[in-house]
Chains A and B, each alone.
Chain A
């Protein structure tokens, strides 16, 4: 798999984790 696909997946993973913390747990993210 080309590296750009890896990076895309990791960006999605980061978005997933941010959504989970902010929208489900209801915690403020310090850099937003």
Chain B
């Protein structure tokens, strides 16, 4: 298990750093709730808005 764990950790960390260096990043960390119209932690709209 230890070897599997080390491999998974190293691969995931390399992928994480790689995608960070190749992706845009905003000025401060954001949550989907920061955006207008978000009604849930995932950014889903409110039912009252969906009905319109």
Q: Do A and B come from one complex?
A: no
B interface vs A, CB < 8 Å? none
A interface vs B, CB < 8 Å? none
